[in-house]
Homo-oligomer: A and B are copies of this chain.
């Protein structure tokens, strides 16, 4: 009975990681669609969304079944609750990828100006956060999860700088407004990806250590 239960927990983890892989890939492709203007990549992002959504439902159902049929205690219970939360964040990473891909396609309708915002760099930082948060989940490593929380400051700072630079560009060269706005929104989407990675890292810490670290720096 307990062997079966732990196999089910492993199955839950495995599915979540497959889904997370899809979401990571979607961010990667959306950013590439922006960088290279190869919109077949954006199409791939749009096509992957239903699969990610379906997996989110399946994982939630499986987690619910496990809670309903077993009586998980302590760390197993925290694990399942962490999976439910991480599941929601991974799905939202997928949503951000769709938003970014849609902006990239819209930008294709305009000229390609040289804007002072390094989206690929911001994207690679946000992706590194997602990857590290998932790695900490795979390895049940709270220390690694904590390192994700500090990376978020850098992403926030880059996003803030992008906002300032783009405001200035728009004011000086209003003809660049549509493109600059799209870049501004892509930067915000990437910042939100970083926020989701932060949430995932906090859930890993909650699972492994049983402590709730949310908002601990703010209060």
Contact = CB atoms under 8 A, between A and B. Distances in A.
A50 B212 contact: no
A171 B179 CA distance: 11
Contacts of A167: 177-178, 181
A181 B184 contact: yes
Interface residues of A, number: 37
A181 B160 CA distance: 13
Given A88-B85, A181-B184, A215 B73 contact: no
Contact of A81 (B84, B173, B181, B219): B84
Contacts of A218: 49-50, 53
Interface stretch (A28-36, A59-67, A117-125): A59-67
Interface of A: 49-50, 53-54, 56-57, 60-61, 64, 67-68, 71, 73-74, 77-78, 81, 84-85, 88, 163, 167, 170-175, 177-178, 181, 184, 212, 214-215, 218-219
